[in-house]
Amino acid sequence: MCKVIAICNQKGGVSKTTTTANLGVGLVGAGKEVLVIDADPQGNLSQSLGIKNPDELEVALPSIMEQIIMDKEVDVTKGIIHHKEGLDLMPCNIDLSGVDVSLVNAMSREFVLKTYVESMREFYDYILIDCMPSLGMIFTYCPWSQ
C-alpha cells in the first residue's frame, strides 16, 4: 500500500525540500518505488534534482492540476521525470502560483491535488510532497496525507 507523506511548514527555510529529496533517495536505497512531487512554485525540489529551468517545462504539476480543475482527461504519467538516483519527480514551476489563486473559486478545490496523487498510488510505494511555505489552497492537502 502506497504511503503519502506531505512535508509541510508555513515557514520557509526549514529544510522541507532537503528532507523530501533525502527521504526519497533513502527510500529508493531501501528498495522502494518513490515519487516526489514538487508542490512549491519556487521549484526548488525540481532544481535540486537537476531541472535547470523548471519554468520552461511543457508539463509540470501546475498544468496537470489545471487539467483536473477543468475536468479534462489527464495522462498522469506525463511530465514525470526519472532521476538518476532512482526516484521519479513531478516537477513544479512558477505557474503553480496562478493555480493556487484559481483554486479559491474551484469546485472541490481540496481534492485537486488529491485526485492526481490518488491516480499515482498504484505505481509507487511512497509519494512525498514538498509543499510551499504557505497556508494557501495547495496546503489544504497536507492533512489528507497518510
Nearest to 83 by CA among 57, 131, 128, 50: 50
Retrieve residue 11's grid coordinates. 515557514
- Helices 61-69 and 112-120: angle between axes, nearest 10 degrees: 110
In this prediction the pTM is 0.87
The model's pLDDT over 2-13, given as tens digits with 9 standing for 90+, comes to 999 989 876 677
Q: What's the average model confidence in pLDDT over 69-84?
A: 90
Instruction: Give me the domains of the chain, ranges plus CATH numbers.
Output: 3-144 (3.40.50.300)
